[in-house]
Amino acid sequence: MPYRAPLSEFTFLLDVVGFAEVAATDRFAEASPDTVAAILSEAGKLCETLTPLNRAGDKHPARLENGVVRTSPGFAEGYRAIATGGWVGMSASPEYGGMGLPISVTTCVNDMMGSACLALQLNPLMTQGQIEALEHHASDALKSLYIPKLVSGEWCGTMNLTESQAGSDVGAVRTKAEALGDGTYAITGQKIFISWGDNDFSGNVCHLVLARLPDGPEGTKGISLFMVPKLIPDADGNPGARNTLHVVSLEHKLGLHGSPTAVMQYDTAQGWLIGEPHKGMAAMFTMMNNARLGVGMQGVAVAEAAFQQALSYAMDRKQGRTPLGSGAIIDHADVRRMLAEMKAEVFSARAIGLACAVAIDMARATGSAEWQARAALLTPIAKAYGTDTGCEVAHLGVQVHGGMGFIEETGAAQFSRDVRVTAIYEGTNGIQAMDLVARKMMDHGEAAYRLFDEVQAAAEMARGKHPDLAGAVWISAEAMREATEGLIAMPLQDRFAGAAPYLRAFARVLGGHFHLKSALADPGRLALAEFAIKRLLPEYASLLAQVREGAAGLYALTPEALSA
C-alpha cells in the first residue's frame, strides 16, 4: 500500500505540544501556521513519491564493487529530489544557505521521509547532524567551506565513532591523529558501522572522525574530532585529490539494506581539527543529540508506515464471521485491539518527539536554562520510546497480517527488520535509560518535577469534561514524582537496574498526558484517548514496581544460575 503523509496529524500535534510558543519568538517568527502548513504539504508530496524506493532498497541492497559503493536503484534520483528541494538544510543557518526553520518542522519532514524510505532518509539525517556540529564547533574557515555544500546536498556527511573494541565505550577509541605541521592531521585507524560511509551520487563524503592525539589522555577526555573528507577540497573549495581512506566492506544486515553500512579504513588520511584538542566528545555529542531525536522519530516513522499498511490490510481482508457483519478482519475484537494500540502508540511517541523538538527550539530562541533542561530530559525518552514503539508497532503489523505478514512480498516484515536497528544505534535504549536516571537527574529531578507539574495542571483543567481520564493521568504523574524522589536517593547501580522501566513509565505518563490534551482539543479523538489512558497508561504501575527493586535481585542471578 502506498504511504500517505499524515499532514493533518502533524498540524494537530504541533498545536497540542505548544508549537505556537516557538512561532511567537523573534527567531522563528516566520514559522506561521500557513507557512508551516505549506512546507509540510510540499514535503508530504515529495515523500509520497519516494515510497517505491523502500522496497527497491530492500530487494536490491547497496553493494561494494571494486572499491565503489553502488546504491540501490532509484536512490540517486530520490536523493537529488531531497537535495534540490532544500530538505537537507531545513534548520541550518541562512548564513550558509539553510532555511533556518525550527527543529520542530524539520522533525515532521524527517518523520514523513522515514515513513517513505528509512534507508534513504538516514543519509540526510546524518548530514543534518554534521551541519549542526560544524555550526557549533568548527572554525569559520571550515564552516564556510563545508556547510554550504552540505546544506545544498552537494556533499554528504557521516559520523565515525565505533571501532571493533570501542562500541558503547567510546573512550576506548584507538584511531590516531598526528599533526602534519601545516594545521592538518594524519588520521589512521579503522571505524565500523558507518552509516552511508560512501555513495555514488554526491560530490563528496565528509566524515567526522573521533581520534586520539599523541598527548591525549586515556578515556573520553583524550579524544578529538576531525573532518576527514573523501576528496580533499582544492583552493577553490571543489573536490580535489582522493584522500587516503576507503571502504573495506559493507555489512550484511538484518534490514535497512538500502543504507550502506561501511567498515572505513583511514591510512594517514588528511583531516582538520574540529573544536579544541581533546574536546572531541563535546563536539560529537552536538551531532549525536541531534541524531538521537532524529532516530527516535525514525522509529515513529516506520511505525506510521506499518500502521497504515496494517489498517489497509485489515479493512480489505475477509476472514471468518465478524460481529459487525462486514467479514473484514478489522471487525474482530483482537485485530481492532492491535490496530488501536498501534495508533495510540504512534500518537504518544510522535507527541513526545515533537515536544522534545519544541523544547530544543525554545532553548535556541530564548536561551532559557529551563528549556535547555527540558530538551535534555526529553531526548533519551524520545529516542528510546520512539524506537521501541517502532519495533513494537511493526511487530503488531506483522501479526495483523497473520500468515501473510511472514511473507516478504507484503512488505510487513521489512518494516520490522528495518526498524530494529534504531533501538540499537545512536546509543542503545538501555544507555538512553541510564542517561535519563543519572546525568539527567543531576539537577536532583527539578526538570522532571516541572514536567510532572505541567501534566497535573493539564489534568486539572480536563477534570470538568473528562474526570475519569483526568484523574488517571493526574495520579500517574504523582506516582512518577514519588518514584523519581526514590530513584534519586538510590545508589547509581540500583538506578541503572530500574532505568529502562523508569523511562518506559515516564513515556507512558507523557503519552497519557498528550492523549488527554488531544481529547480536550478534538472530541473526535476521545475514543483513542480513552483506549490509551485506560488500557496502556496503567502499565506505569508495574514498571515503577520494577524500579523500586534495585539491583540486588539482578545480581543474585549469577552466570551459573542463568546457565543452569
Question: Which residues on adjacent β-strands are paired with residue 190?
Answer: 265
Residue 226 burial by CB count (10 A; 0-12/13-18/19+): exposed, middle or buried?
buried
CB 354 within 8 A of CB 17: yes
Nearest residue to 146 (alpha-carbon basis) of 183, 98, 195 = 98
DSSP 8-state class, residue 10: H
Print the SS3 string covering 177-238: EEECCCCCEEEEEEEEEEECCCCCCCCEEEEEEEEECCCCCCCHHHEEEEEEECEEECCCCC
Q: How crowded is the C-beta side of 245, counted as CA atoms within 13 Å?
A: 31
180 with 221: CB under 8 angstroms?
no
Listed residue (156, 227, 221) closest to 195, CA to CA:
156
Choose the catalytic residue: 163, 345, 426, 530: 426
Question: Reduced to 3 states, what is the DSSP secondary structure of residue 317?
Answer: coil
Q: Strand, helix or coil at 42?
A: helix
**β 155-160/204-212 pair status:** parallel
| Contacts of range 376-379, beta carbons closer than 8 Å, 24 or more positions apart | 376/440, 376/447, 377/436, 377/440, 377/447, 377/448, 377/451, 378/352, 379/289, 379/292, 379/293
* Alpha-carbon gap, residue 114 to 350, rounded angstroms: 13
For residue 328, the tally of other CB atoms under 10 A from its CB is: 18
Catalytic (active site) residue 218: no
Spell 249-269 as b/e; 16+ CB within 10 A means b. ebeebebbbbbbbbbbbbeeb
Q: What's at 256, amino acid-wise?
A: L
C-alpha cell at 444: 536532583
Packing angle between helix 333-366 and helix 103-116, nearest 10 degrees?
150
Q: Cα separation of 394 and 467, whole Å?
A: 33
Cβ count within 10 A of residue 402? 16
Cβ atoms of 186 and 221 closer than 8 Å: no
How many angstroms separate the CA atoms of 301 and 43, rounded? Answer: 14
d(CA 501, CA 137): 35
Question: Which residues face 227 on adjacent strands?
Answer: 208, 272
Phi, psi of 237 (to 5 degrees): 85, 10
N-term to C-term CA, the chain:
47
Hey, which residues are catalytic here?
426
